[in-house]
Amino acid sequence: MKNFHRSRSLKPTAKQVAHVAGVSLAAVSRAFTPGASLDVEKRKRILAVAEEIGYLSPARRTAEAISATTITLVAGDLLNPFYPFVLDTLAKQLQESERQLLVYALAANTDVDSVTEQILAARPSAIIVTSAHLTSSMARACRQHQIKVVLLNRIQRDIRINAVACDNFQGGRDAGRLLLERGYRKIALVGGVANTSTHVERVRGLRDVLAEAGGAIHAQAFGNFTYKGGYTAGKTLLSVPDAPDAIFCCNDIMALAVIDVAREFGLRIPEDLAVIGFDDIPMASWNSYGLTTIRQPVERMVMEALKIIDDPTIKPSDDGIITMLPGTLVTRSSA
Amino acid sequence: MKNFHRSRSLKPTAKQVAHVAGVSLAAVSRAFTPGASLDVEKRKRILAVAEEIGYLSPARRTAEAISATTITLVAGDLLNPFYPFVLDTLAKQLQESERQLLVYALAANTDVDSVTEQILAARPSAIIVTSAHLTSSMARACRQHQIKVVLLNRIQRDIRINAVACDNFQGGRDAGRLLLERGYRKIALVGGVANTSTHVERVRGLRDVLAEAGGAIHAQAFGNFTYKGGYTAGKTLLSVPDAPDAIFCCNDIMALAVIDVAREFGLRIPEDLAVIGFDDIPMASWNSYGLTTIRQPVERMVMEALKIIDDPTIKPSDDGIITMLPGTLVTRSSA
DNA sequence: TACTCCTATGAAAATTTTTCAATCAGCTTC
DNA sequence: GAAGCTGATTGAAAAATTTTCATAGGAGTA
């Protein structure tokens, strides 16, 4: 009986579902109608059979068709100017292929679970997640619903999910090498959030290149990837007797904050203190900052993410592909 | 025959449409199926009758149901940090009411027409437009499709459309008065884009309060609401012999640019030059700027926009309601 | 001219949703 | 405790809609 549907024509019908599930035709229809009166258990069983056979109600089918052109962006931190830039790039690329962009903004420091249900209810064809932690339960749910997920600017190896990111390790190395070349020796770090790949890899790169030169990170503090956090971290680092002569920051806004602190301390940049950031947000090039930084190739990152989404040979259930793109060291006046 | 449908039950059926249009039932179904083989004229006629009677095919009905919970945001300038803030606020408020947010990002200086078709094809329940010019043809199309439109942070009286904005005139006055009170007399202006309400009203407010005190705008330049534009404008204003002692900028990023120029010119702020902006973006409160500005009540603006959208007594075809909310003068170190 | 191929079409078949009447369980009322 | 009411659940049947099928007509072509 399990292969009942194979013997019939191509498209599975409600009648078949009804037969297999041992219920009336009406029940099948009701199972697909939210709010219809139907025993919870029975509905569950019908839906299971339908999935097994591959049946979709007409309403479900049109819903599917609509959402097939929709991509959901889950953005964690829109107040960091890097992400609006990503959003803008993504929106424009999607417009070109006549697709829609749904946006969810997460409150600070929350993971995706708070909106999982809403996102899945909208049944997008794919989800792009930036700067937010994806829980394994969400990852599992997406696999189950055949929705592709791509992490942008973050890599999570725990859940084996697609990811596109800048080569953060190399970026960290580039920053460190520049500082060494310019003669700085007391190189400190303003980190972001400890368990994020952007933080970890960038720091690893810096540490790596310093170690090669026989050095180490002079001091470090965490700035939570925010201006405020960077400001506090900068103050902490510069307030001690043996203050650093260079600070590598895990992103640009924190770097800008550190520059602001340095100014308050009366330090000349880059003579007394060199500062390097990461991202190359628009403000980095503003005259009052002139921040030396690692530019992330946002356009290419977005393109690669869409490539993964559009590649039919990559299945949602596959183990994730990790795409790493090189960043560019942009030298301005701060280092 | 025109009132044929009134005699029948509540829900119009395809049969009725077929009868009125004088075609077969199958033809009606086909009219609603994209790609189905049907004479173009006949399809048009059927669709017209259907609209007249109020019939929607099941597929169309579910599509309608889905998009009923979708609101489209058309954002003009995501690189100005004010708008990500709006987007973030809107996204979070919509998440609370389980609605979806579709985002379109327009390329710089384009009007909405470039994406009109895409937007209408998605049939959102409402559209919120920030910082982009709405053409009258788009406005007409939305009326016709029964889609509510709300302009956010912009007022266009030419097309009589709903709008929510800060009281820009009053904001301009507040800024001007503060400068006068602090003893500045050579007050210059860095404008945004000439034909936008945000520019016009803010300037009018400034001019108004200066005139009351028997003065006038000392000099002016346009900055296009961008950092770069503001930078150039600032240079122009400060390079002349009789330079201003205060500059009011029509938004914050331009004000930040002007501060940067002033620093290059070796001017002390606020002693040699006072600067006031408009918006209160996060950067305005950063230590290196300490920008005095008019804060826009973004949360309330978004709430008011949604209130208009959710109010069933306001019809898409109605003449627009204009909601004006007071801004707040935030005094920091720049003036 | 005859033939082919394609679009267009209504009738009828197939499919799905909705209505309707019946059943049943849990409460309330007497 | 019995009778009665209410509302959820259900399958059969009716209604509505989509799809199939056979046919007709027209444009292009050998």
Strand, coil or helix: what is A241? coil
pLDDT tops 50 at residue B146: yes
How confident is the model over B233-258, as a mean pLDDT?
96
Q: What proportion of chain A, given as a percentage, has pLDDT over 90?
A: 60
Mean pLDDT of chain B: 90
pLDDT score recorded for residue A118? 86
pLDDT score recorded for residue A203? 97
Same-domain pairing of A90 and A154: yes
Helix axes B252-264, B227-238, angle to 10 degrees: 40
Same-domain pairing of A87 and A69: yes
pLDDT score recorded for residue A250? 97
A vs B, Cβ pairs < 8 A, gives: 116
Q: How many domains does chain A have?
A: 3
Residue where one domain finishes, among candidates A43, A60, A77 = A60
* Cβ within 7 Å of nucleic strand D, residues: A 23-27, 30, 37-40, 42, 58; B 9, 13-15, 25-26, 28-30, 32-33, 55, 57-59
Same-domain pairing of A10 and A118: no
Helix axes A136-144, A113-121, angle to 10 degrees: 10
Same-domain pairing of B16 and B41: yes
How confident is the model over A6-16, as a mean pLDDT?
64
Q: What is the CATH number of the domain that holds A12?
A: 1.10.260.40
pLDDT tens, A190-202?
999 998 999 999 9
Residue where one domain finishes, among candidates A45, A60, A75 = A60
pLDDT tens, A110-119?
778 888 888 8
Same-domain pairing of A320 and A275: no
pLDDT score recorded for residue A136? 86
Same-domain pairing of A185 and A116: no
Same-domain pairing of B115 and B188: no
Q: In chain A, which residues have their Cβ closer than 8 Å to the Cβ of B227? A: 282, 286
Q: How far apart are CA A119 and CA A25, in angstroms?
A: 30
Same-domain pairing of A283 and A322: no
Using CB atoms within 10 A of its CB, is residue A216 exposed (0-12), middle (13-18) or buried (19+)? exposed
Q: What is the CATH number of the domain that holds A242?
A: 3.40.50.2300
Please name the residue whose C-alpha is nearest to the C1' of nucleotide C14: A13
| Residues B257/B231, Cβ–Cβ less than 8 Å | yes
Q: The tokens of B308 are what?
A: 């208009």
Is residue B74 domain-resident?
yes
pLDDT tops 60 at residue B280: yes
pLDDT score recorded for residue B65? 82
pLDDT score recorded for residue B48? 86
Same-domain pairing of B37 and B127: no
Residue B61 backbone dihedrals phi, psi, to 5 degrees: -65, -45
Q: How far apart are CA B219 and CA B237, in angstroms?
A: 7
How confident is the model over B181-209, as a mean pLDDT?
95
Q: How far apart are CA A46 and CA A20, in angstroms?
A: 9
pLDDT score recorded for residue B6? 35
Q: How far apart are CA A223 and CA B136, in angstroms?
A: 48
The end-to-end CA distance of chain B, in Å, is 72
Pairing assessment for the beta strands A100-105 and A148-152 based on DSSP bridges: unpaired
Q: Which domain holds residue A44?
A: 4-60
Compute how many other C-beta atoms are within 10 angstroms of the C-beta atom of residue B6: 7
Is residue A236 domain-resident?
yes
DSSP A276: E
Is residue B70 domain-resident?
yes
Q: Name which of B186, B184, B9, B148 is nearest B70 in CA terms.
A: B148
| Residues B178/B335, Cβ–Cβ less than 8 Å | yes
Is residue A333 domain-resident?
no
pLDDT score recorded for residue A134? 85
Chain A residue set in contact with B, beta carbons under 8 Å:
58-59, 62-63, 66-67, 78-79, 81, 83-85, 87-88, 91-92, 95, 98, 100-105, 107, 115, 118, 122, 227, 231, 256-257, 259-261, 263-264, 282-283, 286-288
The answer to which of A239-253, B2-16, B32-46 has the lowest mean pLDDT is B2-16
Is residue A322 domain-resident?
yes
* A136 vs B210 pLDDT, higher one: B210
For residue B282, the cross-strand partners are: none
* A170 vs B96 pLDDT, higher one: A170
Task: Provide the H-helix boundaries in B32-81.
Answer: 40-53, 58-67
Determine the distance between A141 (CA) and D14 (C1') in angstroms: 40
The end-to-end CA distance of chain A, in Å, is 72
User: Which nucleotide's C1' is closest to A9 (Cα)?
Assistant: C14
| Residues A309/A161, Cβ–Cβ less than 8 Å | no
Is residue A332 domain-resident?
no
Residue where one domain finishes, among candidates A38, A60, A82 = A60
The answer to which of A23-27, A152-156, A174-178, A208-212 has the lowest mean pLDDT is A23-27
pLDDT tops 90 at residue A322: yes
pLDDT score recorded for residue A10? 57
* A63 vs A74 pLDDT, higher one: A74
pLDDT tops 50 at residue B255: yes
Same-domain pairing of B132 and B80: yes
Please name the residue whose C-alpha is nearest to the C1' of nucleotide C17: A29
The answer to which of A11-25, A231-245, A284-298 has the lowest mean pLDDT is A11-25
Q: How far apart are CA A31 and CA A155, in angstroms?
A: 39
Which bases in strand C are touched by protein, i.e. have an atom under 7 Å from a CB? Answer: 7-12, 14-19
Q: Point out the residue among A66, A81, A122 whose CB comes nearest to the CB of B63.
A: A66
Q: The tokens of A145 are what?
A: 């619903």
Q: How far apart are CA A33 and CA A58, in angstroms?
A: 11
Is residue B334 domain-resident?
no
pLDDT score recorded for residue A49? 86
The answer to which of A42-56, A296-310, B268-282 has the lowest mean pLDDT is A42-56
Please name the residue whose C-alpha is nearest to the C1' of nucleotide C6: B37
pLDDT tens, A243-294?
999 999 999 999 999 999 999 999 999 999 999 999 999 999 998 899 999 9
The tally of CA atoms less than 13 A away on the side-chain side of residue A291 is 29
Same-domain pairing of B89 and B114: yes
Strand, coil or helix: what is B277? strand
Strand, coil or helix: what is B224? coil
pLDDT score recorded for residue B10? 57
Same-domain pairing of B51 and B155: no
Which bases in strand D are touched by protein, i.e. have an atom under 7 Å from a CB? Answer: 8-13, 15-20
pLDDT tops 90 at residue A7: no
Beta strand residue intervals within A237-332, DSSP E: 246-249, 274-279, 292-295, 322-325, 328-330
pLDDT score recorded for residue B1? 33
Q: How far apart are CA A245 and CA A53, in angstroms?
A: 67
Is residue A180 domain-resident?
yes
